[in-house]
Amino acid sequence: MSSPGKATVETENGRRADRTVALTGATGFLGSHLLIRLLERGCHVVALGRRDEHAVARSLALALRSAGAGESTLARIPGQVTPVRIDLGRPRLGLPEMRYRQLADTVSAVWHCAALTTLNGDPDALHLANVEGTRRVLEWTESGARRPHLHHISTAFVAGRRSHGVIPEERLPAHGGFVTPYEESKHRAEELVHAWAAAAGRGATVYRPSVLLSARRALPRAPRHTYAVLAAKMALVLRQLGVAAPGSAGRGTGAPVHVRLLGNPEATVNLLAVQDAVTSMLCLADRATGRPGVAVHHVVHPHDTPVSLVNAAIERTVPGLRLSLVTERDDPTDLERGLDAYGVEVTAYLGLHRTYARAVPADLERRRVTDFPRPIDSAYLDAALAPPTHLPRVPHAPHAPNGQAAPTPRG
């Protein structure tokens, strides 16, 4: 791996810019797609990860390959990526003073993408990683002599319990509360970014993606999108229950399992291909002026996807499972209770009727600077939810409520 230095790149609008950028979360689902595009632009990337530098380098290579990086992009890693081990929970990111400042002075932009993404995870752990972690990244960004611009990855779900209306692209008050501790932690992190930019007179861009998908089948142990994880977990639960598709080679009765999810049968969810999200974010990043202040952008699809379409795709992916949306439910089964408790992503957002302002992305599409996001239809969902090549082993499935395996919510 190389040492960080100066890299000159051409931006989407044809300007040349000096770009040595820092990226947290590069080993994750979104971060790996972002890294591919940064590398292809010629950026030198300081990849800030929580494991030792060899482990980060190995994870990056796997994540990038899984995300579809070609050999020419993978070949850029040794020359363009500097993995650095950091600890988001410690002062100075756990780095020695000299290294801390020297790294900060090297970068012209900081992309903060790392986060703990378990929607219903332990609130203290979420706070530590997402709120305190953002605070540490802001301190580091401020210490840089080149006054790097901050690109902060938030989430559309900072809107919390707001269920109707158009969510504006601006600072959102916390009143109304949050559905999950994840949302709350991401909202607090956004608040820190606003306070930091105002106090330090610095520039930041906040991106609020909705739920991101990929139609590529992930490699084993590589990061996956939320619904792929969910479908895999549901398949695991059914295997534990001994349910197998009629006529399949698996053990089991073949009797389908009917799961009633609490929600509006007309419910919709905003889903966006991760590649389209990254294109949009990089275009928005190129518009950063360098002036103090925070620009907030929703990175969402212009059209919501009916939850019934997603459920139908999950049913095709997980033979033996039948899903329905019901507004009331008597006598929930153990499985339904287990999904309520652990599968927040299944139930939490089904009653939303809100939409998201997306002024600049819509303008860029109108002017054909970017393409319209690809449609999220049945064909796309089937590809996105295709079963993994390796299902997790059954016997060690943790946290099983009532003896069943528990889905691990992510966001």
Ligand X SMILES: NC(=O)c1ccc[n+]([C@@H]2O[C@H](COP(=O)([O-])OP(=O)(O)OC[C@H]3O[C@@H](n4cnc5c(N)ncnc54)[C@H](OP(=O)(O)O)[C@@H]3O)[C@@H](O)[C@H]2O)c1
Task: Summarize as ranges the residues that interact with ligand X (CB under 6 A).
Answer: 24-25, 27-31, 49-51, 59, 88, 113-117, 129, 133, 153, 155, 186, 209, 211-212, 223, 225-226, 411
- CA dist 20 and 146 (Å) reads 11
Q: How many other C-beta atoms are found inside a 10 Å radius of the C-beta of residue 253?
A: 12
Least separation, in Å, of the C-beta of 277 and ligand X?
8
Query: 103 or 241: whose CB is closer to ligand X?
Result: 103
- CA dist 185 and 191 (Å) reads 10
Query: 238 or 344: whose CB is closer to ligand X?
Result: 344
Least separation, in Å, of the C-beta of 285 and ligand X?
15
**Helix runs in 154-289, H state only:** 181-200, 226-240, 274-286
- In this structure, which amino acid lies at residue 141? T
Query: 116 or 344: whose CB is closer to ligand X?
Result: 116
DSSP of 62-113, one letter per residue?
HHHHHTT--HHHHTTHHHHEEEEE--TTSGGGG--HHHHHHHHHH-SEEEE-
Question: Which residue's CB atom is positioned nearest to ligand X?
Answer: 28
Query: 76 or 410: whose CB is closer to ligand X?
Result: 410
Least separation, in Å, of the C-beta of 332 and ligand X?
27
**DSSP 3-state assignment of 406?**
coil
Partner residues linked to 45 by β-bridges: 21, 81
Query: 28 or 338: whose CB is closer to ligand X?
Result: 28
Least separation, in Å, of the C-beta of 326 and ligand X?
26
Least separation, in Å, of the C-beta of 254 and ligand X?
34
Q: Which two structure tokens, joined as six digits, stand for 235?
A: 């398949």
Q: Which two structure tokens, joined as six digits, stand for 79?
A: 């020359």
In sequence order, the 6+-apart residues with CB closer than 8 A to the CB of 159 are 167, 172, 354, 356
Query: 174 or 255: whose CB is closer to ligand X?
Result: 174
Q: Is the dihedral of CA 218, 223, 226, 230 positive or negative?
A: positive
**DSSP 3-state assignment of 411?**
coil
Q: Which two structure tokens, joined as six digits, stand for 13?
A: 């609008």
Query: 108 or 155: whose CB is closer to ligand X?
Result: 155
Query: 106 or 155: whose CB is closer to ligand X?
Result: 155
Partner residues linked to 314 by β-bridges: none
Query: 155 or 404: whose CB is closer to ligand X?
Result: 155
Query: 271 or 406: whose CB is closer to ligand X?
Result: 271
Q: Is the dihedral of CA 170, 174, 180, 185 positive or negative?
A: positive
Least separation, in Å, of the C-beta of 210 and ligand X?
6
In sequence order, the 6+-apart residues with CB closer than 8 A to the CB of 373 are 272, 273, 276, 280, 301, 302
Least separation, in Å, of the C-beta of 157 and ligand X?
7
Residue 320 exposed, middle or buried by CB count within 10 Å (0-12, 13-18, 19+)? buried
Least separation, in Å, of the C-beta of 125 and ligand X?
9
Return the CA Rg of the chain.
21
Least separation, in Å, of the C-beta of 113 and ligand X?
5
Least separation, in Å, of the C-beta of 205 and ligand X?
14
- In this structure, which amino acid lies at residue 93? L
